[in-house]
Amino acid sequence: MKAGNPNKFARYAWAVLGYNIFVILLGAFVRSSGSGAGCGSHWPLCNGEVLPRAPEVATLIEFSHRLTSGLALLLVGGLLLWARRLYAPGQPARAAAKWSMVFIVVEALVGAALVLLQLVGDNPALLRGVFIAVHLANTLLLLGALTLCAWHAAGGAPVQLPKGAEAAAVWLGTVLLVVVCSSGAITALGDTLFPAASLAEGLQQDLDPSSHLFVRLRVWHPVLAIGTGVYLIVLARMWDLNGEPAAVRRTARTMMAVVGLQWVGGTLAVVLLAPLWIQITHLLMADVLWVLWVLLVATVHSVRAPSVSRLQPVPA
C-alpha cells in the first residue's frame, strides 16, 4: 500500500456503491413510469439538445437519470484514480476498482444502445428483453466489483475461491442469483407493458399461450426466486462458522432475512399487481441481497480462513 488514507478511501468506496444503487433504482423508475423515451432516440443528447428546453415530465425524468448516471461514471473514475494512488498493482482493492470502471462503461454503452435502438417506452420487442437481461447482469457485476473494492479497502483479506464441490456450490449460487434478477427485470418490464386490471386477469394472461413472451415468463420468476432463496439459505447454514465466526454469522443471518423479505415482496407484487413502489422496493432488496452474497462469499473464503472445506452441516 502506498501513502494515503485507506480509511477515507473505504468510506468513499462504500458511498459510491450506495450511490450506484440509487442510480439503479432511478433507472427502474424511468422504465416503470414509461419515461425511457423522454429524450427520444438521441444519445448522449436529449431530443437533439444538450439541455432540453421546455421539457415534458418524461423528458425531465429521463434526463435526470442520464445526469445521475454520468455522475456515477465520474465517481467510479475517481475511485479508480484514488485506488491507483493508494495501492500497488495487483492489490485486490485496486483490481476491484479497475473492474468497477470496466463494468460502468459497459453500463453506459448498453444504456445508449437501448436508446439508439429505440428499445424504450412501450416497445415490446424481444430484443429489448435480451438487452434488459444483459443490462441487469452487468449491473450486478458492477455492484459486486464495488462491494469487493470497499470490502478490501476496509481491511478485508484477499479472497481465494475454493475448488471442487465447494466451488461449484458458490458458482451455482451466483449464477442462480443472476438468472433470478434478470428474470425479475423482464417480469417487471412485462408488468409495465402489459398491465393487468385484476389478479385473475393477470393469471389468465400468464397462462395464455397467445400472450407475449414477457407475460408468459412472469409465472417462472416466482418459481426461480423461491428455489434460489431456499438454496442460498441452505448453503449459508452449511458453511462452517469457524475462522471469522462473527462476520460470517452476521452476514449469513442478514442474507437469510433479506431472502425472506424478498419472498414477501414478491408475493405482494403478485397480489397488488406490481405497483411502482413495490417494484422499486423489490429491486432495492435484490441489490442488497446480491451485495450480501458477495460479502458472504468473500468473508468465508478470505485467505485468513482455514483451508478445510466449509460445506459442513451447522448444528441447529
Closest CA to 288 of 1, 25, 38, 13: 25
Q: What is the pLDDT of residue 24?
A: 96
Amino acid residing at 255: M
Give the span between the Cα atoms of 38 and 60, in whole angstroms.
Answer: 7
Which cell is 177 given?
Answer: 442469483
Contacts 24+ apart (CB under 8 A), 268-271: 269/191, 270/199, 270/202, 270/222, 271/199
Low-confidence ranges of the chain (pLDDT < 70): 1-4, 54, 240-245, 303-316
**Residue-wise over 103-126: b if at least 16 C-beta within 10 A, else e?**
bbebbbebbeebbeeebbbeebee
Query: CA–CA separation, 300 vs 303, rounded Å?
Result: 9
Which residues on neighbouring strands pair with residue 311, listed in sequence order?
A: 239
Please enumerate in sequence order all residues whose Cβ is within 8 A of that of 248, keeping only pairs 6 or more positions apart, or say none: 239, 241, 296, 299, 300
Tell me how long the chain is.
316
What cell numbers appear for 293 in the block?
A: 452474497
Measured distance CA(234)–CA(223) in Å, rounded = 17
pTM of the entire predicted model = 0.91
pLDDT at 97: 98
Strand residue runs (E) in the chain: none
How far, in Å, CA of 74 to CA of 28, rounded? Answer: 21
Q: Pick from 294, 150, 185: which is nearest to 232 by CA?
A: 294
For cell 485486490, the residue is 92
Residue 297: CB atoms within 10 Å: 22
Summarize pLDDT for 60-115 with one digit per residue, the tens.
Answer: 999 999 999 999 999 999 999 999 999 999 999 999 999 999 999 999 999 999 99
- Helix, strand, or coil (residue 11): helix
The x, y and z cell numbers of residue 233, run together, are 439459505
Contact indicator for 65, 43 with CB cutoff of 8 Å: no
> CA torsion 150→95→24→64, rounded to 10°?
100
